[in-house]
Amino acid sequence: MNLVDVTPKVWDRILSARRDQACLCCGDWTVGERQSLALYGAMAQPPRARSVVAQIGQSLDGRIATESGDAQDVSGPDGLAHLHRMRALSDAVVVGVKTALHDDPSLTVRLVEGTSPARVVIDPDGRLPDGMKLLADDGVRRVVIQAVDRPREKGVEVIQLKRCAGGWILPRDIVTGLNAIGLERLLVEGGGITIARFLEADLLTRLHVAIAPLIIGAGPQGLTTSAIASLAQARRPATSSFALGSDVVFDCALTQDRMNPQAWHSRQTSNAR
């Protein structure tokens, strides 16, 4: 397994490809830089390419926090930088209300170069109070998806959707609603229940699982879906593994039309060579 080396040169190319200003198949790259292109290239598709990617950071034993809820250092420094790169390649980062209330995350891009995505919280009952970090007025779009008619602060967009029988909002309706307002490359960041719902709805195009070398022993699991009777029913996505340094990422392709990121050219390839 080769180490991913996200140099400023290769990261600038990936960001340019995301803006449809460069290709990923040309250039003189080191082995580590080529690993970077392989890991992030599928998310650097040209504009208007719709995708729903989920990211989980967990321990060797599949935990995302301790029983008391401490999740501060589950991912190592390279795993955190990876998460921020994922944000920079997305139109919007999506979390459930439980994650928003418990962690009060900023959901911004801080550890790498790139633009912060829109921040989206799924809040069926309108529980999220004003004043949370992800609702801060910092020039980035803020969206609340809810089933109740609750007004929000000026500048916060509200998408009101119906509940399903279980009281939640269908993931497919969420994706449709976000696509309708121009948010097409979505990163579902948490929590585990929210990611599981998108997975079981067959809406995820990719799943990134970043594993850090620690054993927690007890606590919430990264992903829990409906039980299956036999391993023959298990999902077996096409998966590649990447060494980041402090963490290892498993990149799982969950759709049949997995794109080879090395195979396409931008319309402006001549500017990138």
Percent share of the chain, pLDDT over 70:
92
User: Each residue of 136-148: pLDDT tens digit?
Assistant: 999 999 999 999 9
User: Per-residue pLDDT for 107 more than 90?
Assistant: yes
- The pair of structure tokens assigned to 220 is 């919430």
What is the average pLDDT across 61-77? 90
What is the average pLDDT across 187-211? 95
Residue 26 has what pLDDT?
A: 86
- In a domain? residue 271: no
- In a domain? residue 192: yes
- In a domain? residue 26: no
Rounded-to-integer distance, Cα 164 and Cα 96, Å: 16
114 strand-pairing partners = none
CA angle 231, 235, 5 (to 5 degrees): 125
User: Per-residue pLDDT for 268 more than 50?
Assistant: no
Between the alpha carbon of residue 120 and those of residues 79, 217, 249, the distances in Å are: 22, 31, 24
Domain that holds residue 105: 48-224
- In a domain? residue 18: no
Please, what is the average pLDDT of the chain? 91
Per the CB < 8 A criterion, the answer to whether 142 and 135 are in contact is yes
Domain count, the chain: 1
Q: What is the value of pTM for the model shown?
A: 0.91
Residue 70 has what pLDDT?
A: 86
User: Each residue of 111-122: pLDDT tens digit?
Assistant: 999 999 999 999
- The pair of structure tokens assigned to 126 is 């309108």
CA torsion sign, 157 to 162 to 167 to 173? negative
Residue 47 has what pLDDT?
A: 62
Residue 271 has what pLDDT?
A: 44
**Side-by-side strand order, sheet with 206-211:** 156-160, 142-146, 118-122, 92-96, 185-190, 51-58, 206-211, 248-253, 238-243
Residue 119 has what pLDDT?
A: 98
Indicate the pLDDT class of residue 273, thresholds 50, 70 and 90: very low
Q: Report the CATH number that the domain containing residue 68 is assigned in CATH.
A: 3.40.430.10
55 strand-pairing partners = 208
- In a domain? residue 104: yes
Residue 256 has what pLDDT?
A: 58
- In a domain? residue 137: yes
Rounded-to-integer distance, Cα 25 and Cα 261, Å: 8
Residue 269 has what pLDDT?
A: 44
- In a domain? residue 234: no
Of 4-8, 48-52, 220-224, 260-264, minimum mean pLDDT range: 260-264
Comparing CA positions, the residue from 224, 236, 221, 238 lying closest to residue 196 is 224
Residue 259 has what pLDDT?
A: 46
Question: At a CB cut-off of 8 Å and minimum separation 6, what does 21 contact?
Answer: 266, 268, 271, 272
Indicate the pLDDT class of residue 1, thresholds 50, 70 and 90: confident
Per the CB < 8 A criterion, the answer to whether 252 and 237 are in contact is yes
What is the average pLDDT across 81-102? 96
One-letter amino acid at 206 equals R
Residue 73 has what pLDDT?
A: 82
- In a domain? residue 267: no
